[in-house]
């Protein structure tokens, strides 16, 4: 049991040797498979909250009445094993009101399960595009609160915890909502701990289409500003209620949320961007500010993006976007000149890293 974890993970070919070591007593513990089986009614379909490539998440209740969400990872392989190890390792280190904490885990011979607190209002995705999409529980005030909370969670990961952490998978399904619609950022399975003094890592591309920063998607360059970019896309999604990628009629071409929003932003038609489900109930000044912040965050050049401290201050209205704003927001453009981006990254401390698992693009 403990509030932080260190792992003695010895490689993906040696599954039984992953032994998380508890450091001190507090908020999480090791669960048995039987306990979690019982809590989720035998991993019943009715308890299923969601599913993605490597596993499914089930709602459950422990015998002492704790509401939990259990992620049951699918077939054991090196990728699953690595994601489990990373998530437990990272979750054990983070303690912030806007980050989903670790309740525990179960690491049997051939099972890997992670236990979290259950978030009764599920994910932001379910409110914007999923099962609650017609209920309008997310009014303007709640959306602004979600934006600030997520930004604070990210700021904590980037600057306040040591070693610093890059999330790499900021997206609407990884923003969960508690009973008061306070946001908690989840989904740390592909997070990167960044060694001291290192600002940028080159690695294989993982993350979710629609949210990937161009320099990361094209050249695998990961830095904190990749999360800033994804956060900018998330802000646009939150305000507009649109999906980050949509299929155009005919089904062959796709359009990113940036491509959709850009003409409105350039012509300062901010009101036309707002989610129609809000029926005009929003604060116009906040709207302009948020769109401008999203624009800055999703800047094509990483060094022109603000850091999360600046984003938090901007969102809280402690700073105005003012001169900072430069209208050059673009999505991934394949004709981009790689040399130009390389030059832009000069002076950034950097090292190359080889991930043990393969190229992994998750579709939102
Ligand atoms: N603690 C939780 N409380 C309530 N619902 C949760 C919780 N954790 C996950 N979920 C639900 O389960 C769904 C699936 O989560 P999961 O993280 O496995 O997939 P994902 O977010 O779509 O993809 P990724 O693995 O890339 O993060 C989420 O969208 C969310 O609705
Ligand atoms: Mg997730």
pTM of the model: 0.85
pLDDT score, position 322: 61
- Below-70 pLDDT ranges, the chain: 1-26, 321-364
- Assess contact for 224 and 302: CB atoms under 8 A: no
Decide: 123 in ligand 1 pocket, CB within 6 A. yes
Ion ligand 2 neighbours, Cβ < 5 Å: 174, 187
Query: How many A from CA of 232 to the centre of ligand 1?
Result: 21
Q: For domain 5-117, is the CATH number 3.30.2130.10?
A: no
Residue owning tokens 């912030």:
96
Nearest atom (ligand 1) to Cα of 54 = 25
The domain ranges of the chain are 5-117, 124-344
Decide: 57 in ligand 1 pocket, CB within 6 A. yes
Q: Which of 50, 112, 130 to mutate to test the pocket of ligand 1 (most atoms within 8 A of CB)?
A: 50
Q: Which of 55, 60, 121, 123 to mutate to test the pocket of ligand 1 (most atoms within 8 A of CB)?
A: 123
pLDDT tens string 198-229: 888 898 888 898 999 999 999 999 999 999 99
Query: How many A from CA of 9 to the centre of ligand 2?
Result: 23
pLDDT score, position 270: 96
CA distance 279 to 64: 43
As a dihedral over the C-alpha atoms of residue 229, residue 203, residue 360, residue 82, rounded to 10 degrees, the angle is -110
The answer for residues whose C-beta is within 8 angstroms of residue 141's C-beta and 6 or more apart is none
DSSP letters spanning 33-75: HHHHHHHTTTT-GGGEEEEETTEEEEEEE-TT--EEEEEEE-S
> Encoding tokens for residue 44?
């019943």
> Encoding tokens for residue 217?
């998607």
For ligand 1, atom 14, the nearest C-alpha belongs to 50
- H helical segments located in the chain: 33-39, 78-91, 124-128, 140-155, 214-219, 224-240, 257-266, 284-297, 308-315, 338-344
The DSSP element (H or E) to which 255 belongs, if any, is: strand 254-256
Q: Are strands 206-208 and 360-362 parallel, antiparallel or unpaired?
A: parallel
Decide: 85 in ligand 1 pocket, CB within 6 A. no
For domain 124-344, the CATH class is: mainly alpha
Helix, strand, coil % over all residues of the chain, rounded to 5:
35, 20, 45
- What is the sign of the dihedral through the CA atoms of 343, 346, 351 and 356? negative
pLDDT tens string 64-103: 999 999 999 987 788 888 889 989 989 988 999 999 989 9
CA 258 to chain centre: 18
The answer for residues whose C-beta is within 8 angstroms of residue 301's C-beta and 6 or more apart is 328, 341, 344
């Amino acid at each position: 049991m403990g509030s932080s974890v260190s792992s003695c993970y010895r490689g993906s070919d040696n599954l039984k040797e992953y032994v998380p070591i508890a450091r001190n007593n507090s908020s999480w513990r090791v669960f048995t498979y039987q306990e979690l089986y019982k809590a989720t009614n035998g991993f019943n379909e009715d308890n299923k909250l969601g599913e993605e490539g490597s596993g499914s998440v089930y709602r459950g209740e422990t015998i002492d009445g704790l509401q939990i969400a259990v992620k049951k990872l699918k077939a054991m392989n090196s990728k699953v094993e690595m994601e489990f190890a990373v998530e437990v390792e990272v979750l054990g280190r983070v303690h912030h009101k806007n980050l989903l904490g670790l309740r525990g885990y179960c690491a049997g011979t051939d099972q890997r399960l992670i236990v979290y607190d259950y978030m009764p209002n599920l994910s932001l995705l379910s409110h914007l595009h999923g099962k609650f999409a017609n209920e309008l529980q997310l009014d303007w005030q709640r959306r602004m609160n979600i934006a600030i909370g997520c930004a604070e969670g990210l700021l904590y990961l980037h600057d306040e915890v040591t070693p610093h952490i890059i999330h790499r998978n900021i997206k609407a399904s990884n923003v969960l909502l508690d009973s008061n619609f306070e946001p908690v950022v989840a989904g740390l399975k592909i997070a990167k701990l960044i060694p001291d003094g290192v600002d940028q890592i080159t690695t294989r591309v993982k993350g979710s289409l629609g949210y990937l920063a161009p320099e990361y998607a094209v050249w695998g360059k990961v830095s904190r500003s990749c999360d800033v970019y994804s956060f900018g896309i998330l802000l646009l999604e939150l305000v507009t209620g649109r999906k980050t990628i949509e299929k155009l009629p005919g089904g062959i071409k796709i359009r990113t949320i940036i491509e959709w929003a850009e003409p409105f932003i350039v012509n300062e038609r901010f009101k036309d961007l707002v989610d129609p489900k809000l029926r005009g109930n929003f604060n116009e000044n906040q709207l302009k500010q948020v769109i401008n912040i999203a624009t800055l965050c999703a800047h094509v050049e990483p060094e022109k993006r603000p850091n999360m401290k600046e984003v938090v201050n901007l969102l809280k209205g402690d700073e105005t976007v003012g001169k900072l704003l430069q209208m050059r927001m673009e999505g991934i453009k394949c004709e981009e000149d790689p040399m130009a981006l390389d030059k832009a990254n000069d002076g950034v401390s950097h090292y190359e890293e080889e991930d043990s698992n393969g190229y992994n693009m998750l579709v939102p």
